[in-house]
Amino acid sequence: MLTLPNIIGLILAYLVGSIPSAVWVGRQFYGIDVREFGSGNAGATNTFRVLGKKPGIAVLIMDVLKGFLAVKLAYIVGDYSSDSPEFIDFELALAVCGLMGHIFPVYVGFRGGKGIATMLGILIGVHPQAALICAIVFIITLILSGYISLSSMMAGITFPVVIMVFYSTNSSINIFSLAVAVIILVTHQRNIERILSKEESRIKWSKSR
């Protein structure tokens, strides 16, 4: 049952997730809106592509942090015991609100990013061990392929596998992990098409601005 503190927490999670890191960095330091260039997304990947490595890393860190903070609001505004199943469900609800905030940010006309970095922060908050394994898969795939999009998809697919095989007997986390994989694949449909047609951009780590 939703209480007033829980409703406030969900709203706050959405507002935290809505913080448009990529848009703010682009506008404040480079005088551009990154959504008007590259893939058109307001996320870390497009920031790397449009602005370069340093601003890309800055946006990556900020997006990861806001996903993590959205989940951890459960300790501040929730009224559940931290060892109860309801607490886990509330964390996952906060995670969804934070992710929706990133994808549909209220501050900049509901045009956000795909939520990969924010999702990483959420995974760290919900299940840090599984998040670490996903991060390793991401890094290995990126080194081998050079595609951030492919690396993101591989990490997303890895998450439910890790959760279901090695860790969780909690049905809520199982469902959430599957939803993560589906969301990542759905938001990367155009990337999949570009990879298959060999038109997808590869990250150039040696490039700096």
On whether the pTM is more than 0.85, the answer is yes
Residue 208 has pLDDT above 50, yes or no: no
Determine what percent of the chain is predicted with pLDDT higher than 90.
Answer: 69
Q: Is residue 209 part of a domain?
A: no
Report how far residue 118's alpha carbon sits from residue 66's, in angstroms, rounded to the nearest whole number. Answer: 6
Q: Is residue 206 part of a domain?
A: no
Tally of domains in the chain: 1
Q: What is the pLDDT of residue 209?
A: 46
Q: Is residue 40 part of a domain?
A: yes
Domain holding 25, by residue range, is 4-196
For the chain, where are the E strands, in sequence order?
Answer: none
| Each residue's pLDDT tens digit, 78-102 | 778 888 888 989 999 999 999 999 9
- Exposure of 175 in the CB half-sphere (CA atoms within 13 A): 8
Q: Is residue 149 part of a domain?
A: yes
Residues 6+ apart with CB under 8 A from 17: 66, 67, 70, 97, 98, 99, 100, 101, 102, 105, 118
Q: Is residue 42 part of a domain?
A: yes
Identity (one letter) of the amino acid at 35?
A: R
Question: What average pLDDT score do residues 154-181 get?
Answer: 89
